[in-house]
Amino acid sequence: MEQTQIIDEGEHEISAEEETNADLSFDEDGLKETDRAHWYVVHTYSGHENKVKANIEKIVENRGMQELVLNIVVPTEDHVEVKNGQRKVKTRKVFPGYVLIKMIVTNESWYLVRNTQGVTGFVGHGSEPVPLTFDEVRRMGIEKIYVDLGIETGDSVKVINGPFENFMGVVEEVNVEKQTLKAKISMFGRDTPVELEFGQVDKM
């Protein structure tokens, strides 16, 4: 007879069959591959992204699992719209239906996230979540990470995320310590100086 396990508020039921099929091949300490945290993508019901984020944060706090689930992000971006001569800034989700979570995958953390109300599953192979690569994290701009691009004054760069995405520019100043650079970007036929983070550009 199929049994169900009821867990905290904000979570849904998981069947014994689901548990059997969710073989994540953890080691004897319950850790998957490494004890280092990685970013994972979680699929949610459309429009439930912020609710899922809040539910997971609440459960993590209640269970004292902050060392396993480090950060939860619903990526957004601002868009400027001009209507009747007035500029309005609107915020919209970059990846509707998805939440990004930095976590260490163990049996406990996997079940916590997987069974939070509104979550349909991890992005990966079957039941096994696949972490984002270093380059994917950098391009999404979800975390400030140290990047060694070998960029020098005079180099050409392409902006890969942020309000100037897809614009090209020429580097005028580089600050390796702060991981920022100043570049001139051609906008509307004019060169506009902007400051960018290393994680926002690719060297051409």
Rounded Cα distance, 196 and 159, in Å: 8
Which residue's entry shows tokens 């392409």? 158
Please name the residues in contact with 91: beta carbons below 8 A apart, sequence gap of 6 or more.
76, 77, 78, 79
Last residue within a domain, chosen from 92, 108, 140: 140
Q: Under DSSP, is residue 200 helix (H, G, I), strand (E, B) or coil?
A: helix
Has residue 36 been placed in a domain?
A: yes
In this structure, the answer to whether residues 125 and 161 fall within a common structural domain is: no
Rounded to two decimals, the pTM is 0.59
Distance CA 174, CA 9 (A): 49
Q: DSSP letter for 139, please.
A: H
Average pLDDT of the residues in 172-193? 84
**177 domain-assigned:** yes
Contact 96, 90 (CB under 8 A): no
Q: What pLDDT sits at residue 21?
A: 39
Neighbour count for residue 162 (Cβ, 10 Å) = 16
The answer to whether residues 193 and 186 touch, using CB atoms and an 8 Å cutoff, is: no
**Phi, psi torsion values for 38, nearest 5 degrees:** -135, 165
The CATH number of the domain holding residue 57 is 3.30.70.940
Kindly state whether residues 31 and 130 are assigned to the same domain: yes
Closest CA to 169 of 184, 150, 152, 154: 184
75 and 173 in a single domain? The answer is no
Task: Tell me whether residue 43 is in a domain.
Answer: yes
- Residue 76: is its pLDDT beyond 70? yes
CB-neighbour burial class of residue 157 (10 A; exposed 0-12, middle 13-18, buried 19+): buried
Mean pLDDT of 78-103: 81
Number of domains in the chain: 2
Under the banding of pLDDT at 50, 70 and 90, the label for residue 26 is very low
Pair (32, 69) in one structural domain? yes
User: Any idea what DSSP says for residue 147?
Assistant: -
Domain harbouring 182, CATH code: 2.30.30.30
Find the helix or strand (DSSP H, E) in which 136 lies: helix 134-140
- Do 51 and 90 sit in the same domain of this protein? yes
- Whether pLDDT at 106 is above 50: yes
Residues 71, 35 within the same domain: yes
Residue 192: give the domain boundaries: 156-203
Most confident stretch, 10-14, 27-31, 172-176: 172-176
CA-CA distance, 102 to 41, in Å (whole number)? 9
Across residues 181-194, what is the average pLDDT?
Answer: 85
The amino acid present at 107, given as its one-letter code, is N
d(CA 133, CA 130): 9
**Do 123 and 58 fall into the same domain?**
yes
